[in-house]
Amino acid sequence: MPKPPTTITDELGIALANLADAAGAPFTPTLRLGVTGLSRAGKTVFITALVHALLAGGRLPGLSALTEGRFIGARLAESPDAGIPRFAYEQHLKSLEGTPPTWPESTRRISQLRVELRYQSRRWSSSLRQTSTLNLDIVDYPGEWLLDLPLLSQSFAEWSTGAIARASLPHAANEAAPFLAALAATDSSAEATDADAERLASAFTQYLRASREDGRALSTLPPGRFLLPGEMEGSPALTFAPLPPPGGGVRHQSLYAMLERRYEAYKGLVVRPFFRDHFARLDRQIVLVDTLRALNAGPAAVSDLETALTEILAAFRQGRNNPISKLLVRRIDRILFAATKSDHIHSSSHDRLEAVMNRLVAKAGKRARFAGAETRSMAIAAIRATRESIISEAGERHEVIVGTPEAGQRLEGTTYDGRTEVALFPGELPADPGQLLDAGRPVALNFLRFAPPERLERNAEGQLVLPHVRLDRALEYLIGDRLR
């Protein structure tokens, strides 16, 4: 039985925060949307595109409040938490609209945005319709930090055993070798020294960094702050590494005991507050998964992604709410599993992409549904960077996508310069998603990263329209019922 991720004090804090939320906004319902996704999954782009579509009246035919003519409009509202930086919406949008357009930078700190949505409720007959308001709160954070959530229910010994076992797997041999060598040269029951701790922590960080390179695309390696330390860089809470538990008792002065204390400090100072303040108070969740990047890297990366998602999602509170639980514990009652960047493949393959997504989150989804939450899988692209076309070659028709690969992207000996448009046949996703986890039946796939779309259309008010794939349907699933 895994330990709960929170202590009783945390629970009290969470309940008080929920009560304060309720008391602070007695007349305006608030929906906290959790945008969950590993590093580079597409969280920042998704939030920017979603907010832009709401503010600028983007093309959202799947959003019923809009098609029924009940959606009045949206505006950015004052943030409810004075201590959290504001999501740099304008800056992210500016980079997407620039010449040439660029994707927003990878996120380095937490930020939040509140969007106020105004609509006419369906509950009233049209002559009596009143304007209602829903506050939509969205938090953005570096994906690396998400990897830490499973640590909350693991002791140092448990985490160490798991981390060393995975570093010893054959597919990790290259990147883990220096760390394993440093570990072999260490006596964990010897007197603790800072020099030893620093040496091990630095070898471990190198290993984490190497596993995250594109070709490997491994996902499950906490601690997240080792790669993005921020102002905590060099502090003891960030200077530890997994150690094999020593035989016999653990002496207080030993290296093992010191690293164990630091591991617990990391959890107490970094992970628990992050979880308590942001993840324990969500109403709805979209889980963004860059399925295609993992597929590109092969079966080891796919199975790694599956493990990471299952472990991370186990840390969330999912289930049905009743009026009391809504006030105190607050549960996530609806989860959308979204395969992102689906514009990297032709829409005729989107069904298969959704099947792959379903397979990756099968365990996590089952657990959530068992607890009473609703789930759905969807292939989406927050911003569509490609168009579709058909190429005939030697009598065969291929469904291709056309776009501009980002500068430096390579395929079959060609390195792209970021300006040349190409038609690409990325390969076919297998009908049986199980094949993607099977090293014996390799699937040849070629996905490239594309630059954001250029020459965008403008709507009647002169605002840019960002093309997307099913962003509207994702939005309808996540908030549609709250705009009724």
Ligand X SMILES: Nc1nc2c(ncn2[C@@H]2O[C@H](COP(=O)(O)OP(=O)(O)OP(=O)(O)O)[C@@H](O)[C@H]2O)c(=O)[nH]1
**Cα–Cα distance for residue pair 453/242, rounded to 1 Å:** 44
Please report whether residue 143 would count as binding ligand X according to CB under 6 A: yes
Rounded distance between C-alpha atoms, residue 403 and residue 357, angstroms: 24
For ligand X, the closer of residues 136 and 380 by Cβ is 380
Question: Segment near ligand X (CB under 6 A), from 166-174, 239-247, 311-319, 378-386?
Answer: 378-386
Structure tokens at 443: 């699937």
- Extract the tokens encoding 253: 């002065």
How far is the C-alpha of 479 from the C-alpha of 116, rounded, in Å?
Answer: 13
Options 6, 18, 36, 107; binder of ligand X; rule CB under 6 A: 107
Q: For residue 226, which phi and psi values (nearest 5 degrees)?
A: -65, -30
Phi, psi of 35 (to 5 degrees): -105, 100
Which of 166, 331, 350, 449 contacts ligand X by CB under 6 A? Answer: 449
Contact 361, 287 (CB under 8 A): yes
For residue 45, state whether it binds ligand X (rule: CB under 6 A).
yes
Nearer to Mg ion, 144 or 311 (CB): 144
Does 381 sit near ligand X (CB under 6 A)? yes
Residue type, 450: F
Site membership for ligand X, residue 226 (CB under 6 A): no
Q: Does 106 bind ligand X (CB under 6 A)?
A: yes
Residue type, 27: F
Residue 87 C-beta: closest distance to ligand X, Å? 11
- Does residue 167 interact with ligand X by CB under 6 A? no
Q: Is 426 in the site for ligand X (CB under 6 A)?
A: no
Distances (CA, A) of 436 to 195, 220, 229, 347, 350: 43, 18, 34, 19, 16
Considering only residues 25-44, where is the footprint of ligand X by CB under 6 A?
A: 37, 39-44
Residue 401 is a binding residue for ligand X (CB under 6 A): no
Cα-to-chain-centroid distance, residue 262: 27
- Does 379 bind ligand X (CB under 6 A)? Our answer is no
CB of 383 to ligand X, least distance (A): 4
Closest contact distance (angstroms) between CB of 63 and ligand X is 18
Q: Which residues bind Mg ion (CB under 5 A)?
A: 43-44, 107
Q: Helices 299-314 and 350-360 meet at what angle, rounded to 10?
A: 60
Chain positions contacting ligand X, by CB under 6 A: 37, 39-45, 103-104, 106-107, 142-143, 340-341, 343-344, 381-383, 385, 449-450
